[in-house]
Amino acid sequence: MENSLLIPGKYKVVGWIIFILFACLGLATLYWDYSIPGLVLPLKESLFFDANLTNELALAGVIIGLMIIVFAREKIEDEYISLMRLKCLQWSVLISFVILFILNFMFYGGSFYVVLIYNMFTIPLIFIAKFNYSLYRLRREREEDEK
């Protein structure tokens, strides 16, 4: 069965490049108050709106990069790989909520806001790690069976 949500596998490298570049931009924005001068709007800052759009650009780039990586097709995309994708996705959602549950009791106020920012990325990051580890184990088992 063909999964129409998957994109060609050659875009996985592009996704990694986008993710790494924008993650660095996001970290620089978050911890060192870096901002791209062209993205500062000439508006007065308010309680609900920041006149600097560097954060939003970094967040959009990280999300796009992660989604490209997650939805990139493998060279051999069969039913077993699809089942493995599903299991890894379920596993990553479960782990993400367990992490959020634990951190809910450890952080308060503004620190919890930072936890929520990082928690947005736990599902795709855990999925990528678990799926690639599962693929590695599958390939290793196939090589051992061929010997």
pLDDT digits (tens, 9 = 90+) for 18-65: 999 999 998 898 888 888 887 777 666 655 566 778 888 898 999 999
* Model pTM score: 0.81
Separation of alpha carbons 88 and 101, rounded Å: 20
**For residue 70, pLDDT beyond 70:** yes
* Three-state secondary structure readout of the chain: CCCCCCECCCHHHHHHHHHHHHHHHHHHHHHHCCCCHHHECCCCCCCCCCCECHHHHHHHHHHHHHHHHHCECCCCCCHHHHHHHHHHHHHHHHHHHHHHHHHHCCCCCHHHHHHHHHHCCHHHHHHHHHHHHHHHHHHHHHHHHHC
Q: pLDDT of 126-147, one tens digit each?
A: 999 999 999 999 888 888 877 6
What is the per-residue pLDDT for 47?
A: 54
What is the per-residue pLDDT for 124?
A: 94
**For residue 1, pLDDT beyond 60:** no
- Residue ranges of domains in the chain: 1-73, 76-147
- pLDDT > 90: what percent of the chain? 39
